A and B are shown apart, each in its own frame.
Chain A
Amino acid sequence: MPEPLEVVSGAHAVIVRVIGRLDAKSVPALLARCAEVRANGRNLIVNLSRVEFIASSGVGTLLSVAEEFRKAGRTVRFASPSTPVLTVIQLLNLEPFLPIDANEQDAERAIPA
């Protein structure tokens, strides 16, 4: 089974790539990693292009991460969401709350230096 998260450091943000299923099993690792980035005062890009399935707890995690970063005065962007992710984001009208970019480069550009 591949690792569910890849973490790389970008120019203005830490990039976390989620791989496979974003569900009850994988959300604790994503939450912990995002909390670490926030605690270090960095901005965050969550790449969702390789998410094959997103459970409700996964959607809740994206919302929680977005809210916690907003409250901490940091920026979080969601890059290239896969079709399952985009479908549920649109269904719940979450586009205004979860800032989406076509790819990691666009997300980097959208983050204030």
Chain B
Amino acid sequence: MPSRPDLDPAEALRLAARREHELLAISELSRELTVGLDLYALADLVLLNLMGQLGASRAALWLLPEGTERRPVLLRAHGVSRRMADALGATVAPDALQALGEERRILGAREFPERLHPATVALARREGIELLAPLSSRGETLGLVALGPGAGGSSYGPVELDAFQASLGMIGVALQNATLYNRLLENNRQLRVANEELTDLDRLKSEFLRNLNHELRTPLTVIIAYLTSVEDQGGLPDTVREFTGVCIEESKKLKAMLENLLDFGSATRGSLPLDVRRGDVVVPLRAYFEERLPGVTEGLREFVFEAPDAPLEAIFDRHRVLQIVEALVDNATKFTPCGTRITLRLRLEGDMVDVEVEDDGPGIPPERMTQIFASFRQGDGSPTREVGGLGLGLAFALELAHRMKGRLTASSDLGRGSLFRLSLPRAAQV
């Protein structure tokens, strides 16, 4: 730091110490940004570091979602009302943010009116926001960071703004890397799930063939028996005998074809068998959560896992429970907006172990709730899949739950969220 002749030695020392603190904070930030891939946890660390670096008691971070609706989505807020921060993000015009991102410009409170919508300015003032800065990386604008004033009452000088700018650069790169890596992990997961579902579909196809074969072969056998009986009777006109013979031959050909089908079906049969065992539900679902986390947070929905420290022993088919939970989480991410919090919760409830998927999204209208487990069923009651989805439909999830002697229920509070609960029989205590 260049020495300034007008500073007294004590003040120069204080400024040097302050500068050292900011450099240490940036160095800590660079380490902390490698901690994990959960965008929400990263946002927390980023904000707490910036607050500690600059002595601010308020901060918030928004990210832009994928797609055409490019309004910033709030990830985390500290010392700022979450509701106000949500609203503030929604008022930021995409083109204004894009322009700030291209300029890499930190806006001070006095500049807000020139660059931002009056509604954004009003909300920022109400929440005591002093600085608004775009987050960008490799030419792409990713989001927005807000900081309140220094809690000690001092304003931000060029040194603090330099440190803030340096931090923003690192944060942008880290968030972009995390987003891209999460997307990669999610794509891999979707491929694996799609592969598993193809295997299931293959089994369903075999089951269908077996059923079809049985349903067709039985009447055909009866037809052949009656035709043979007719042929065996004497005194038939030649034409009738000839026609009967043709019918018997063709029926036998048809039967042979069906038997070939039966062989094919038998070779691959085993339609969705259950492997119900006693075991801990927490371990596989924690592993599922960790695998699913990147994809959910990459879509800018917070994903939370709540479970007791002790094992929860239940009687269940591990693979099928994971399929049901995947269907529920998949629905929660598809039918809620960005910024929604989704909780995967495990708990003991009487003689059942409950696996809950809860969201604080818009909820499900009552008229849809009555149909929610039936909407993907065909007229004959056989389960089918939602078009375009990778997950099993809720109707099938319900059927799997029943086959494990469990229950699957849903409740929703319009405007406040939905809760799906899979209840599994608790294993008897030894």
In the bound assembly, the distance between CA atoms of A67 and B80 in angstroms comes to 9
In the bound assembly, the distance between CA atoms of A56 and B51 in angstroms comes to 8
Of the candidates B18, B25, B57, the one whose C-beta lies within 8 Å of that of A67 is B57
The reply to whether the CB of B56 lies closer than 8 angstroms to some CB of chain A is yes
Given A91-B21, A93-B154, A94-B151, is A60 in contact with B28 using a C-beta cutoff of 8 Å? no
The reply to whether the CB of B24 lies closer than 8 angstroms to some CB of chain A is yes
The reply to whether the CB of A68 lies closer than 8 angstroms to some CB of chain B is yes
In the bound assembly, the distance between CA atoms of A40 and B382 in angstroms comes to 49
The reply to whether the CB of A14 lies closer than 8 angstroms to some CB of chain B is no
Contacts of B56 in A (CB 8 A): 63
Tell me if A92 and B58 are in contact (CB < 8 A).
no
Tell me if B14 and A56 are in contact (CB < 8 A).
no
The reply to whether the CB of B49 lies closer than 8 angstroms to some CB of chain A is yes
- Of B40-48, B61-69, B247-255, which binds chain A? B40-48
In the bound assembly, the distance between CA atoms of A91 and B56 in angstroms comes to 13
Of the candidates B28, B78, B79, B151, the one whose C-beta lies within 8 Å of that of A24 is B28
Tell me if A56 and B44 are in contact (CB < 8 A).
no
In the bound assembly, the distance between CA atoms of A97 and B47 in angstroms comes to 18
In the bound assembly, the distance between CA atoms of A61 and B46 in angstroms comes to 11
Given A56-B24, A71-B79, is A94 in contact with B45 using a C-beta cutoff of 8 Å? no
Tell me if B152 and A60 are in contact (CB < 8 A).
no
Contacts of A63 in B (CB 8 A): 51-52, 55-57, 78-79, 151
Tell me if A60 and B47 are in contact (CB < 8 A).
yes
Chain A: minimal CB distance from B77 (Å): 10
- Residues A23-44 near B (CB distance < 8 A): 23-25, 27-28, 31
Tell me if A57 and B18 are in contact (CB < 8 A).
no
**How many residues on B have C-beta within 8 angstroms of the other chain's C-beta atoms?**
34
The reply to whether the CB of B32 lies closer than 8 angstroms to some CB of chain A is yes
In the bound assembly, the distance between CA atoms of A88 and B162 in angstroms comes to 20
**How many residues on A have C-beta within 8 angstroms of the other chain's C-beta atoms?**
28
Tell me if A57 and B21 are in contact (CB < 8 A).
no
Of chain B, the residue at the smallest CB distance from A22 is B52
The reply to whether the CB of B50 lies closer than 8 angstroms to some CB of chain A is yes
The reply to whether the CB of B235 lies closer than 8 angstroms to some CB of chain A is no
Chain A proximity mask over B61-93: 1 for CB below 8 Å, otherwise 0: 000000000000000001101000000000000
Tell me if A91 and B18 are in contact (CB < 8 A).
yes
Of the candidates A25, A64, A94, the one whose C-beta lies within 8 Å of that of B152 is A94
Contacts of A27 in B (CB 8 A): 45, 48
Would you give 23 A-B contacts (Cβ < 8 Å), ordered by A?
A23-B28, A23-B32, A24-B45, A24-B48, A31-B44, A56-B50, A57-B32, A58-B48, A60-B59, A61-B52, A64-B48, A67-B57, A67-B58, A68-B78, A68-B79, A91-B14, A92-B55, A93-B150, A93-B154, A94-B152, A97-B57, A97-B151, A98-B151
A contact residues vs B (CB 8 Å cutoff): 23-25, 27-28, 31, 55-61, 63-64, 66-68, 71, 88, 91-98
Extra pairs beyond A57-B45, A92-B150 (19, CB < 8 Å): A23-B32, A24-B35, A27-B45, A55-B32, A56-B49, A56-B51, A56-B53, A57-B49, A57-B52, A60-B52, A60-B59, A61-B48, A63-B78, A63-B79, A64-B48, A64-B78, A66-B151, A67-B79, A93-B55
